Amino acid sequence: MNFTKTMEVKNIFNKISYKYDFLNNLLSFGLHKIWKRKLVNLLEPLNGEDWADFCCGTGDLAFLICKRVSPRGSITGIDSAEDILNIAKKKSELRKNKFIKWEIKDILEINDYSKNFDGICMSYGLRNLNNAEEGIKKVFYLLKDKGRAGFLDFNHSTKNSVSNIFQKIYLRLIVVPISRLFNLSPEYAYIEKSIKNFPKKDELIKIAKEVGFKKAEYRSIFLGQMGILTLAK
């Protein structure tokens, strides 16, 4: 494990946790909620199924999935950064939601391959792991047979393509300057670096197939700025 990157990522999310939802809404013009709903619609969680939201942050996906799988199923939100997970827990309390289980855990350190889940989702999590392939492997081993998974994240588009240039302009001229107003610019500047190290769509599909998933599909959304990877065992 690359310990330095793990600590760096954890520190970033603990530090930005208090402004995370606010800046997510502002910087995406609220669109992240639409993309997350799209991911959940594609995955079609059913009442009675057991799901996990990996790298859950403040819990947006877990709350959406909860609506679908309750009251007979279960949903667990897992994150390694305590401060951001505490915000998810507070939101749960405010909504009087006792259904979602919140766990503090590094998902790359889960060593229990007990095929617990019908479905696993991640939004903006895979790119932040030390190693995306290891993340996809963990998901594979934790899914029941015929389980399905979905990942929403920035799309790593081809260098110098229109969407790549647009992404750089957006990150450098909107995201970083706005986050600077809250003294969080180094943390938000990290997004561009993490996209550069994130596999492109064809690589993600190749990794998923090599790991053992029978179906792997990638959809670019929002003019190629974001992407959704859906997988099935």
Ligand X SMILES: C[S@@+](CC[C@H](N)C(=O)[O-])C[C@H]1O[C@@H](n2cnc3c(N)ncnc32)[C@H](O)[C@@H]1O
Q: Which residues bind ligand X (CB under 6 A)?
A: 9, 13, 55-57, 60-61, 79-81, 84, 106-108, 123-125, 128-129
Whichever of 129 and 216 has its CB closer to ligand X, that residue is 129
Closer residue to ligand X, CB minimum distance, 42 or 158: 42
**Residues near 176 by Cβ (< 8 Å), separated by ≥ 6?**
185, 188, 189
CA angle 127, 129, 135 (to 5 degrees): 95
User: CA-to-CA distance for 19 and 179, rounded, in angstroms?
Assistant: 10
Nearer to ligand X among residue 80 and residue 157 (C-beta): 80
Least distance between ligand X and beta carbon 13 (Å): 4
φ, ψ dihedrals at 231, nearest 5°: -130, 150
Comparing CB distances to ligand X, the nearer of 57 and 227 is 57
Distance of closest approach, residue 109 Cβ to ligand X, in angstroms: 8
- Least distance CB 62 / ligand X (angstroms): 9
At position 137, the amino acid (one-letter code) is: K
Q: Give the H or E element holding residue 150.
A: strand 143-154
Q: How far is the CB of 115 from ligand X (least distance, A)?
A: 19
177/210 Cα distance (integer angstroms) = 40
Nearer to ligand X, 80 or 158 (CB): 80
Give CA separation, 123 vs 18, 36, 98, 161, 180, in Å: 19, 7, 22, 24, 24
- The residues pairing with 122 across neighbouring beta strands, listed in sequence order, are 54, 151
Shortest Å distance, C-beta 175 to ligand X: 12
- CB closest to ligand X, residue no: 57
For ligand X, the closer of residues 27 and 205 by Cβ is: 27
Q: Work out how close the CB of 106 gets to ligand X at its nearest, in angstroms, rounded to a whole number.
A: 4
Min dist CB 133 to ligand X, Å, is 13
Residue closer to ligand X (CB basis): 90 or 159: 90
CB distance 229 to 217 below 8 Å:
yes
Q: What angle do CA 94, 26, 84 make, to 5 degrees?
A: 45
Q: CA 209 from chain center: how many Å?
A: 20
